[in-house]
């Protein structure tokens, strides 16, 4: 099984690395990082580069497609090579997936029209512009589309997908191997639980 993880300048690292850690540990799975051109691709914070080992044209029929979000997502909303590739591979993929604002790219490519999907809380309402029904669930499965909410939710989505692909026992084994048992010291991980001052600060940063 081949998993194609899409990179573009300004991606958020955990959006793609979290799912990579999960899906890359499934039996008989090959993960390939793809981009319009091969080479190093810089993340949104500017200090991490991941190498795309294959171009979009090199990967024509992946079983799973995953695209993350990040500030660079805004430059990927116009129809072009990436959108065409997403539509092409979606015809044969078992799963087409996104993390965070990567869902907006799938939506702009026309893949989520008429479906339920989720994305980062700050971008959730934007899904309606593309005929998508937004959901505040952390992971949404609709047909062969799996979307995750913001950043860290990609790990939850990947574990969900791992269970659907390889079975619950395998998925739980991977969860134990990566020791995914979150116990954050704060309760500000969602809009509903975060204090008003924290919400205000986050919005100011995200809209700067």
CA atoms within 13 A on the CB side of 75: 9
What is the 8-class DSSP label of residue 89? H
Residue with more model confidence, 38 or 208:
38
CA angle at 63 for the pair 17 and 102, rounded to the nearest 5°: 45
Task: For residue 32, give the CATH number of its domain.
Answer: 3.40.50.880
User: How large is the average pLDDT for residues 184-192?
Assistant: 95
Q: What is the CA radius of gyration of the chain?
A: 16
Say whether 100 is catalytic.
Answer: yes
Residue 201, domain member (yes or no): no
How many domains is the chain built from?
A: 1
3-state secondary structure of 52: strand
Name the band, by pLDDT with cuts 50, 70 and 90, for residue 97. very high
User: How large is the average pLDDT for residues 165-191?
Assistant: 97
Question: pLDDT averaged over the chain?
Answer: 97
Asked whether residue 132 carries a pLDDT value surpassing 90, the answer given is: yes
CA 50 – CA 116 distance, rounded (Å): 31
CA 54 – CA 38 distance, rounded (Å): 6
CA 22 – CA 4 distance, rounded (Å): 14
Work out the percent of the chain whose per-residue pLDDT is above 90. Answer: 99
Tell me which residue of 7, 148, 152, 3 sits closest to 75, measured CA to CA. Answer: 7
Asked whether residue 161 carries a pLDDT value surpassing 90, the answer given is: yes
Residue 40, domain member (yes or no): yes
Residue 193, domain member (yes or no): no
Residue 63, domain member (yes or no): yes
CA 191 – CA 102 distance, rounded (Å): 19
User: How large is the average pLDDT for residues 24-31?
Assistant: 98
User: How large is the average pLDDT for residues 93-110?
Assistant: 98
Residue 200, domain member (yes or no): no
Q: What are 11's strand-pairing partners? A: 43
Q: So what's the pLDDT on residue 105?
A: 98
Q: So what's the pLDDT on residue 181?
A: 97
How do strand 116-117 and strand 39-42 relate by DSSP bridges? unpaired
Residue 74, domain member (yes or no): yes
Q: What range does the domain containing 99 cover? A: 2-183
Asked whether residue 208 carries a pLDDT value surpassing 90, the answer given is: no
Give residue for tokens 């954050």. Answer: 184
Name the band, by pLDDT with cuts 50, 70 and 90, for residue 51. very high
* Global confidence as pTM: 0.97
Residue 199, domain member (yes or no): no
Residue 150, domain member (yes or no): yes
Active-site residue, selected from the candidate residues 16, 65, 82, 100: 100
């Amino acid at each position: 099984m081949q998993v194609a993880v899409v990179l573009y300048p300004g991606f958020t690292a955990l959006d793609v690395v979290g799912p990579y850690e999960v899906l890359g540990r499934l039996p008989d799975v090959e993960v390939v990082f793809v981009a319009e051109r091969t080479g190093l691709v810089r993340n949104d914070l500017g200090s991490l580069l991941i190498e795309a080992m294959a171009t979009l044209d090199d990967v024509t029929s992946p079983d799973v497609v995953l695209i993350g979000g990040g500030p660079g997502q805004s430059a990927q909303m116009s129809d072009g090579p990436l959108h065409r590739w997403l539509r092409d591979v979606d015809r044969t993929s078992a799963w087409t997936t996104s993390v965070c604002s990567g869902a907006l790219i799938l939506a702009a490519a026309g893949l989520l029209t008429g479906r339920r999907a989720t994305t980062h809380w700050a971008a959730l309402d934007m899904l309606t512009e593309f005929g998508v029904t937004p959901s505040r669930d952390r992971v949404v499965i609709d047909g062969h589309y799996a979307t995750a909410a913001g950043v860290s939710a990609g790990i939850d989505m990947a574990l969900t997908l791992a269970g659907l692909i390889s079975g619950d026992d395998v998925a739980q084994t991977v969860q134990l191997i990566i020791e995914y048992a979150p116990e954050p010291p704060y309760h500000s991980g969602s809009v509903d639980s975060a204090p008003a001052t924290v919400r205000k600060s986050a919005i100011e940063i995200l809209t700067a």
